[in-house]
Amino acid sequence: MFTLTKRADYGLSLLSILAEKGRGGRVSLKELGEMGMPRAFMAKIVTPLIEAGILNSKEGRGGGFALNYDPKEIQIKEALEAIEGEVEPVSCGGCPAGDCCNQQDFMERLTKDINKLLEKYTLEDLIK
């Protein structure tokens, strides 16, 4: 079964909440905690999203996290790469089969196809 990690799942949940609020709409770690999302875990997820320029943060009253762009301008692929790193359903590097593997070409094509698909979808698609 191909699944997203908990980190990616929570990250996309956060981004869908922000997509519903639109650019500039904020959500705090406290609010995320009230929604059942672990605050410490969410703090670790927002950091790479801020570093990638997808989110910004504001401290103090009325603070929290907000999208830097309109939801339709942020690709799902871009968000997942910020959260998880390169999107690869299968990593052939370090495989014990090495060059003897008859699946390597297929897995490379599959990875390219999945990445192309993820490039077609944006955060706006999460809330449609």
- The tens digit of pLDDT for each residue in 58-69 reads 998 889 999 999
Residue 120 lies in a domain: yes
Average pLDDT on 84-89 reads 85
Residue 31 lies in a domain: yes
Region of 3 on the Ramachandran plot (φ > 0 left; ψ -120 to 50 alpha; else beta): beta
Residue 19 lies in a domain: yes
Residue 1 lies in a domain: no
Residue 52 lies in a domain: yes
Per-residue confidence band for 2, with pLDDT thresholds at 50, 70 and 90: low
According to DSSP, residue 86 is labeled S
The boundaries of the domain holding residue 109 are 6-126
> For residue 1, is pLDDT > 60?
no
Average pLDDT on 33-57 reads 96
Q: How many domains does the chain have?
A: 1
Residue 81 lies in a domain: yes
Residue 16 lies in a domain: yes
pLDDT top residue among 51 and 105: 51
Determine the pLDDT at residue 96: 74
Determine the pLDDT at residue 34: 96
Determine the pLDDT at residue 43: 95
CATH number for 41: 1.10.10.10
On average, the pLDDT of the chain sits at: 91
Residue 85 lies in a domain: yes
The CA distance from 22 to 50, in Å, is: 16
> For residue 102, is pLDDT > 90?
no
